[in-house]
Every structure is written in structure tokens, then in C-alpha cells.
Structure 1
Amino acid sequence: MIQTFTTHDGLNLAYDITGSGVPILCLAGLTRNMDDFDPVIAAFANQAQIIRIDSRGRGASDYDLNPQNYTIPIEAHDALALLDHLGLERAAILGTSRGGLIAMVIAATAKDRLLGVLLNDIGPEIDHKGMSTIMTYLGRPCAYVSYDDAAQKLPIALSGSFKNVTEKQWQDYARRLWHESTTGMELRYDPKLREAIEAQGATGETPDLWPLFDALTDLPLAALRGENSDILCEKCWQKMQNLRPDMIAREVKDRGHVPFLDEPESIDAIALFIAALPRP
């Protein structure tokens, strides 16, 4: 059941808790929401307490009147505020894309709150090609008119990175991304996220994120990479494994950015990750 808590600046953020066991906080990508983690609940609710949150401006959470508050540090603060609200001293994080960046920021600033981190198709280097792709649709109206239309056309639009995807998987993908209404498909996030990303990239500077990855030292660590990812490049992926030879690393066949988390490789990595976590 969806519940809410209030942030330090008065926004109501939606969250959900399913299952029992070691707590795993699921943080979604830039434009995504808690529904991305439905496969995790289906496979692991009997092994872990799956905590999902819609970051500010996404899903069922309030939109921020100031889009410049859509930043990774503020969203990291919100994630920790949820743990405080739930009375949890520590939790593991499963972070997809931006959610993984948030996890690394928490590791650098509040490592004592973490049991471990699983990064889903993200690392300390972000491929510019992938960011260029994201900017082609970020904050723009949906190109499809219905879920059925999306399920028919997405296999063509994403054929370069996603293969062997069933029609049901495409339907699920569309329902997680958009809301079908009488006037067409609506975004499930604040379109002003585009303003925030454009402002943050206006300096042209690319921060060095490797110190954030280094902050994960001594924490159980797992990572997934879509075989055809245009965000997590092969060179970065290999460097991550070289720096953390103990990292549970799985490359997901026939997937781009990001794996759906229902693939055999994803399920295997998540299972090993849960087994490696200390119990709080």
C-alpha cells in the first residue's frame, strides 16, 4: 500500500514496503518510479523487506515548485529522511541509474547508514552518448497514444539496445513510464526535470565520480550492466571490476539502459547480493 512522508521542505513523497527480512531501499532512475521494482518484489519479498520510494517530482510524489531542487544531493537527503521516518538505522540500496548515483553519494556522506549497494547500469563515468539520448525525450510529450501503441512501437524504437522482449514486458514498460488518459499518454514525472538537468549541465564541467565509487569500499557491492548500455560503457565497467574484484558483477544479455530486473542475470545478482548483506 502506498504511504507518504513529509520532507524537510514540506513535500509529500510516496513510498511502499513489501516483504520481510533485510531492508533494501530501491531508488529509481531519473524519470522513473517505484513500479520499476515490481520484479524485485515478485522474486524477493520472501527474503527481504523491499522499500520503494518515488523521488520528488516522480510517480505519486509531490512535484517541487522549484525544479532546481531536483538534484542528487537533495534526493539523497530525502532517501535518508525516509529511513529516519521508518526508524531504520541502516539499509541496503538497489539503485537504478540515477538511483545508483544517489547511493554512491550516501556512501560518501553517510556510509554508516548502508548495509550494501547494488548498482543497476550505472557507474562513476556516464557515457555522453547515453545522456544525449535521454535529452531527446526528457520532459517532452510522449510519442505514443496508448499502451498498445507503445508496446507495438517500442521494439522498433529500442531495437538497437533491447532484444527478445515479450509483448507483456513492453506493456509493463509502458505502464511504468506513462499514464494512459482520454487525451493520450501522460508523463509520470515532472517535465521540469529537464530544466534542472539543463541547468546542472550548463557549466560544461564533468565531475570526477570515482571518489564516490571509492566510498563503497568495505560495503557489499553488486552491479548490473545492460549488454548494450549507452550509459555504462565497457571501459568503465571493466575498471569497476578491477577496482572491486569482490563485486558481484553480471552483464545482462539483450538489454540496454536499463535492465528490467526480471532477467536471469539480474535475479542471480540480486539473490547473491541479498545473501552477502549483513543483518542489521
Structure 2
Amino acid sequence: MTQFFQSADGLRLAYDDQGSGHPILCLAGLSRNMADFEPVLERFADSARIIRLDSRGRGQSDWDPDYLNYTVPQEAQDALALLDHLGLDKVTILGTSRGGLIAMGLAAAVASRLHGVILNDIGPDLSPQGLTHIMGYLGNRPGYRDYDEAATRLPDAMAPAFRNVSHDQWRAYARRLWRQEPDGLDLRYDPRIARALVEQSAAGEAPDLWPLFDALAQLPVGLIRGANSDLLLPETATEMVRRHPGLIYGEVPDRGHVPFLDEPEAVGVIQTYLEQIS
């Protein structure tokens, strides 16, 4: 059941809190929402407390009146506000894409609040090709009439990065990402997020994120990579493993950016992490 809390600047932010055991805070990608973690909830709610957050401007959370507040530091502060709201001193963060960047930022700033981190197809070096791909669709409606049409057309639209995905899996993907409106599927996020990203990118050179990853050195870390990812390249993943010898790594075949988290390899990383941390 979706619940709400208030951010420091007064936005109403949505979250879901189910399961029992080790607390895992799930942070979604740039244009995604808590629904992406339904497979994690279904698989692990009997062994972990699964807390899923809709970051500001996504899912059921309020859109920010000032789109320039759509930043990793601000969203990291919102995540900490949720932990404080729930009375949690420490959690593991399962971060997909943008959510993983937030996790690395928190590790650098307030490592004492983290048990560890699981990164889903994200690292400290972002491929320009992958970023260009994201900017190509960010803020645009998908152009599908309904979820069934989306499920029928997505195999071609997402190829060749995604293969061996069933119609039902594509329909679930579409339902999590878009909402049904009378004139077709629409975004579940504030399209001004695209504008924020463009303006922030133009403001200066991208920062070096490797120090943020290195801040994870004393924490348990898992890494899930889509084998066909155009954002997290193989050489980046290899360097991450080299810098963090204890890192739990799994590569998901037939998936690009990002794996759905229902794949055996993704489930295996999360399961191994929980076994090690318990």
C-alpha cells in the first residue's frame, strides 16, 4: 500500500514499505518509479524489508515546481528524509541507474547510514553512447495506444539489446513505466526532468564519479549488469570489480539498460548479498 511523507521543502513523496528482515531501500532510475522493483518485492519480501521510493517528479510523488531541483544531491536528501521518517539508522540501497548514483553519493557523504549497496547497471563511468540514447527518449510520450500495443511493439523497439522477453514481461514493463490515458500511454514522470538534465549538463564538465565508487570500499557491494548495456560498459564493470575485490557481480544475458531484476543472475546477486550481510 502506497504511503506518503513530506520532503524538507514540502513535497509529498510516495513510498511503499513491505516485508520483514534486512531493510533494502530501492531507488529507481532517472525516469522510473517504485514499480520497477515489483519483482524484488515478490521474490524477497519474506526475507527482507523492501522499501520502495518514488523520487520527486516520478510515480505518485509530487512534481517539483522548480525543475532544477531534479538533481542527484537533492534526491539523495529525499532518500535520507525517508529513512528518518521511518526511523531507520541504516539500510542497504538497491539502486537502478540514477538510483545507483544516489547510492554512491550517499556512501561518500554519509556512509554510516548504509549497510551496503547493490547497483543495477550503473557505475562511475557513463558511456556517452548510453547517455545519448537516454536523451533521445527522455520526456517524450511512447506513442502506444495501450499496454497491449506496447507489448507487441516493444520487442522491435528494444532490440537488439533486449531479447527473449515474453509478451507478458513486456506488458508488465509498459505498465510500470507508463500510465493509460484516453489518448494513449503517457509518462509516469515530470517531462521537465529532461530539461533539467540538459541544463545541468551544459553548466559544466561532468564530475569524476570514481571517488564516489571508491567510497564503497569498506561496504558490501553487489553489481548487476545487462550484458548488452550501452551505459555500463564491460571495461567499467571490470575496473569496478578490480577496485572492490569483494564485489558480488552478475551479468544478465539478453538484457540492455536496465535488467528487470527478475532474471536468475540479478536474483542471484541480491540473494548472495543478503546471505553475506546477514
With the shorter chain as reference, the TM-score category is: over 0.9
TM-score by length of structure 1 reads: 0.98
In the alignment, which residue of structure 1 is the partner of 2:94?
94
Report Cα offsets for 1:45-80 as digits up to 9, x if no partner: 010000000000000000000000000000000000
Range 204-213 or range 263-272, more displaced: 204-213
Structure 2 SS opposite 1:201? helix
State the alpha-carbon separation in 1 of the partners of residues 124 and 91 from structure 2. Answer: 22
Structure 2 SS opposite 1:50? strand
Report Cα offsets for 1:251-275 as digits up to 9, x if no partner: 0010000000000001110001111
In the alignment, which residue of structure 2 is the partner of 1:236?
236
Report Cα offsets for 1:74-129 as digits up to 9, x if no partner: 00000000000000000000000000000000000010000010000000000011
In the alignment, which residue of structure 1 is the partner of 2:226?
226
Unaligned runs of 5+ in 1: none
State the alpha-carbon separation in 2 of the partners of residues 268 and 128 from structure 1. Answer: 29
Structure 1 SS opposite 2:161? coil
Cα offset for 1:172? 0.4
State the alpha-carbon separation in 1 of the partners of residues 40 and 276 from structure 2. Answer: 17
State the alpha-carbon separation in 2 of the partners of residues 247 and 161 from structure 1. Answer: 25
State the alpha-carbon separation in 1 of the partners of residues 256 and 151 from structure 2. Answer: 17
In the alignment, which residue of structure 1 is the partner of 2:164?
164
State the alpha-carbon separation in 1 of the partners of residues 153 and 141 from structure 2. Answer: 16
Cα offset for 1:246? 0.8
In the alignment, which residue of structure 1 is the partner of 2:144?
144
State the alpha-carbon separation in 1 of the partners of residues 142 and 159 from structure 2. Answer: 18
Describe how 1:64-213 pairs up with structure 2 within 5 A: 64-203=64-203, 205-213=205-213
Structure 2 SS opposite 1:219? coil
Cα offset for 1:203? 3.3
Letter matched to residue 144 of structure 2: Y
Letter matched to residue 203 of structure 2: T
Letter matched to residue 64 of structure 2: D
Cα offset for 1:229? 0.1
Unaligned runs of 5+ in 2: none
Letter matched to residue 267 of structure 2: I
Report Cα offsets for 1:146-187 as digits up to 9, x if no partner: 111110111001111000001110000000110012111110
Query: How many corresponding residue pairs?
Result: 278
Letter matched to residue 243 of structure 1: R
In the alignment, which residue of structure 2 is the partner of 1:274?
274
Report Cα offsets for 1:17-36 as digits up to 9, x if no partner: 11000100000000000000
Cα offset for 1:206? 2.1
Cα offset for 1:142? 1.8
State the alpha-carbon separation in 1 of the partners of residues 268 and 193 from structure 2. Answer: 33
Letter matched to residue 170 of structure 2: W
Cα offset for 1:195? 1.0
Give RMSD over aligned pairs.
0.8
Structure 2 SS opposite 1:171? helix
Do the aligned residues in 1 keep the contact of 2:143 with 2:184 (CA within 8 Å)?
no
Cα offset for 1:204? 5.0
In the alignment, which residue of structure 2 is the partner of 1:53?
53
